[in-house]
């Protein structure tokens, strides 16, 4: 009797000799599609036959077997070069790790060239205006693949309030800042066609749906929905051993265990999406990358973009002054013995030994400024679009990877748990040619950098003098920056008092916030205040409106001003009330919401003067 096609495929036919080393897979070829068979060949060629050892004969768990290949197809398509390239890269990196190879062997570090800015001086003001002028030619990319679990928060980090005076979440603050840049830039262009600044958000399986829900339930915080694009990052396969054998999920033998690949994936996602070419055809020149919980970032962006435009930087890394040996990566120029050079972030625990090994016996030390000459990288990048497209045309967005296996013992033959390859967004410059113009822009930490990444317990353990980087310090940093900006503009701002929340000592400045439409750059602030104004330490000042002017205001309490753009409001005279006060909250007290507990305080609203102007016209607000 003639054999069926299925029997022929599952038997010892000539066409399946490639699977002879894996009988359990060979028996199941009949249930697989041609595409799935090609994927199976890749896996066997790369030494992954163990993935099929447990497979029963055809007819048993066939849907799960097909589901396995659905996952393999996703892993293959989402990695530049596919699974074959991933496994081969992993073998090389794991061999280097086992051998203890130093990635910086042959390189000599030196201080790169960049711009160090002083807030409020003439140069800073000029660069801010240049940055606003360029903003209409920019696109923004927000890397937001993480949940807030590390902070003690169950939701996505973008939904966290940046500060609790207004309750605006990080995503709202970012979008309002981009919209303010958009309006100011088009205005400076003098009647040019109104251009929307695009925003791309890189999400993950964990954050994609909640991010979309946050946008949709808040009408995209004022953006046109088509202005915002979500790109979902896939995970990568885990590795079980030094031979780069892929790890099966301990809870499902028909799934490969996966973990995040790191925010470096953003480059490959942008390349494969085709958006870069669309932006270029629309006349865009710059791509700005930023991360999800730095409430100060947009105070630094206009001047940094101005630096990129005036210097013609292909890559501009935003940076802050960094103390020698401080636990933050340093931006460093590396020159290899063979002549190669690159300007990249070198992690602090690698920079000091690298300097010692290359003729600097004291390693990383402070210079005459009191800071290390290697500025602190804060993972915010501005890339020139033309050269970015050219580079990604060669690399398809693949970023230099690393692997960090946790070995069971000094023999380095087995792992405590599975590992995976990782990549970082800021390592993009590693593949650039020597002709690339790579620099940095340093700004004061108080103005540019206050990330929220530690939970209260971990933040309280940070050694004295080091940044806590918690929700507590992130919020207080916003009030401090706004107070210092107003003080620089001539307003008399009372000195802060010290207090302790969740075990962290912080300076408590007046709780001052304003919408980006009120003041995007320092020149805006200077135009709208004068030196006859005073704000006491216990005060709260909230300004929502483009044309609100503080003219001799003396505030001791709480004032909230809301005004439409067509309403011009002059705020004068003395305003005094009981105001809003900060009440201590214990982070273990579950009667409070997570976003309050993680700060260690809540705002008790006793009394305020709140005025809203919803009609066009000129108005005067006084007590």
pLDDT digits (tens, 9 = 90+) for 56-74: 999 999 999 999 999 999 9
Average pLDDT estimate for 369-393: 95
Tell me the three-class secondary structure of 461-514, residue by residue.
CCCCCCCCCEHHHHHHHHHHHHHHHHHHCCCEECCCEEEEECCEEEEECCEEEE
Residue 425 has what DSSP assignment? Answer: G
What's the rounded Cα separation, in Å, for the pair 535 and 584?
23
What distances in angstroms separate CA 477 from CA 211, 448, 506, 603, one per listed residue? 25, 10, 9, 16
pTM of the model: 0.92
Average pLDDT estimate for 552-556: 98
Strands 548-556 and 534-535: parallel
What distances in angstroms separate CA 479 from CA 160, 541, 547, one per listed residue? 17, 10, 21
pLDDT digits (tens, 9 = 90+) for 344-365: 999 888 999 999 999 889 999 9
What's the rounded Cα separation, in Å, for the pair 306 and 420?
38
pLDDT digits (tens, 9 = 90+) for 158-195: 999 999 999 999 999 999 999 999 999 999 988 656 78
pLDDT band (50, 70, 90) for residue 2? very low
pLDDT band (50, 70, 90) for residue 102? confident
pLDDT digits (tens, 9 = 90+) for 555-581: 999 999 999 999 999 999 999 999 999
CB 474 within 8 A of CB 293: yes
What distances in angstroms separate CA 576 from CA 314, 490, 556, 619, one per listed residue? 51, 21, 5, 20
What's the rounded Cα separation, in Å, for the pair 244 and 516?
49
CB 401 within 8 A of CB 93: yes
**Residue 58: which region, alpha, beta or left (left: phi > 0; alpha: psi -120 to 50)?**
beta
Neighbours of 578 (CB within 10 A): 13
User: By C-alpha distance, which of 164, 158, 171 is closest to 219?
Assistant: 171
Residue 4: the pLDDT is 43
CATH 2.160.10.30 in the chain: give the residue spans: 459-621
- Beta-carbon contacts of residue 563 (< 8 Å; ≥ 6 apart): 544, 545, 546, 547, 548, 569, 612, 613, 619
pLDDT digits (tens, 9 = 90+) for 487-497: 999 999 999 99
Q: What is the pLDDT of the chain when averaged over all its residues? A: 93
Tokens found for residue 6:
């299925």
- Assigned CATH class of 459-621: mainly beta
What's the rounded Cα separation, in Å, for the pair 129 and 136?
12
Tokens found for residue 130:
């240049």
Residue 381's Cβ-count burial label (10 Å; 0-12, 13-18, 19+) is buried
Residue 137 is inside which H or E element, if any?
none
pLDDT band (50, 70, 90) for residue 5? very low
User: What dotted CATH number matches 95-453?
Assistant: 3.90.550.10
Strands 330-336 and 107-110: antiparallel
User: Which percentage of the chain shows pLDDT scores above 90?
Assistant: 85
CATH 3.90.550.10 in the chain: give the residue spans: 95-453
Whether residue 397 has pLDDT greater than 70: yes
């Amino acid at each position: 009797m003639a054999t069926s096609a299925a029997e022929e495929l599952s038997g010892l036919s000539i066409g399946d000799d490639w699977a002879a080393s894996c009988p359990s897979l060979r028996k199941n070829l009949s249930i697989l599609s041609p595409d799935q068979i090609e994927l199976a060949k890749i896996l066997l060629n790369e030494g992954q036959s163990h993935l099929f050892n447990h497979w029963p004969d055809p007819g048993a768990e066939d849907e799960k077997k097909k589901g396995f290949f659905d996952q393999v197809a996703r892993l293959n398509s989402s990695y530049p070069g596919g699974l074959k390239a991933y496994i081969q890269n992993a073998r090389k990196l794991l061999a280097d790790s086992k051998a203890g190879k130093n990635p910086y062997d042959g390189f000599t570090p030196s201080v790169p060239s960049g711009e160090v800015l002083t807030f409020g001086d003439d140069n800073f003001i000029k660069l801010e205006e240049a940055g606003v002028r360029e903003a209409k030619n920019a696109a923004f990319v927000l890397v937001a693949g993480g949940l807030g679990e590390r902070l003690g928060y169950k939701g996505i980090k973008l939904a966290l309030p940046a500060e609790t005076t207004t309750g605006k979440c990080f995503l709202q603050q970012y979008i309002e800042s981009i919209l303010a840049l958009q309006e100011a830039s088009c205005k400076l262009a003098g009647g040019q066609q109104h251009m929307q600044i695009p925003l791309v958000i890189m999400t993950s399986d964990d954050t994609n749906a909640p991010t979309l829900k946050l946008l949709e339930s808040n009408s995209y915080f004022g953006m046109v929905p088509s202005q915002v694009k979500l790109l979902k990052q896939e995970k990568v396969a885990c590795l079980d051993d030094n031979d780069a054998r892929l790890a099966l999920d301990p809870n499902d033998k028909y799934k490969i265990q996966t973990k995040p690949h790191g925010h470096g994936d953003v480059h490959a996602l942008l390349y494969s999406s085709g958006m870069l070419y669309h932006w270029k055809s629309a006349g865009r020149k710059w791509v700005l990358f930023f991360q999800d919980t730095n409430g100060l970032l947009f105070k630094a962006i206009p001047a940094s973009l101005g630096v990129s435009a005036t210097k013609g930087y292909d890559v501009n890394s935003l940076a802050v002054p960094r103390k020698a040996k401080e636990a933050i990566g340093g931006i460093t120029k590396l020159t290899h013995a063979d002549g190669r050079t690159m300007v990249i972030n070198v992690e602090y625990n690698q920079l000091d030994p690298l300097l010692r090994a290359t003729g600097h016996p004291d390693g990383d030390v402070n210079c005459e400024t009191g800071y290390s000459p290697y500025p602190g990288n804060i993972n915010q990048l501005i890339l020139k679009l033309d050269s970015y497209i050219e580079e990604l045309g060669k690399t398809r967005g693949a970023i230099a990877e690393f692997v960090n296996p946790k070995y069971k013992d000094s023999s380095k033959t087995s792992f405590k748990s599975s590992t995976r390859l990782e990549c970082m967004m800021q390592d993009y410059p590693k593949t650039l040619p020597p002709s690339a113009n790579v620099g940095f822009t340093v700004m004061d930490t108080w103005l540019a950098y206050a990330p929220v990444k530690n939970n209260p317990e971990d933040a309280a353990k940070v050694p004295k003098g080091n940044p806590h980087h918690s929700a507590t310090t992130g919020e207080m940093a916003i009030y401090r920056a706004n107070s210092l900006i107003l003080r620089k503009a001539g307003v008399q701002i009372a000195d802060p008092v010290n207090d302790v929340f969740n075990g962290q000592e912080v300076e408590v400045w007046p709780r001052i916030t304003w919408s980006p439409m009120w003041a995007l750059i320092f020149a805006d602030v200077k135009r709208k205040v004068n030196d006859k104004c005073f704000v006491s330490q216990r005060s709260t000042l909230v300004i929502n409106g483009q044309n609100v002017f503080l003219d001799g205001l003396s505030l001791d309490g709480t004032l909230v001003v809301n005004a439409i753009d067509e309403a011009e409001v002059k705020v004068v005279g003395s305003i005094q009330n009981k105001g809003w006060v900060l009440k201590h909250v214990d982070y273990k007290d579950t009667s409070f919401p997570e976003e309050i507990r993680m700060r260690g305080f809540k705002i008790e609203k006793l009394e305020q003067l709140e005025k809203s102007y919803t009609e066009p016209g000129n108005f005067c607000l006084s007590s």
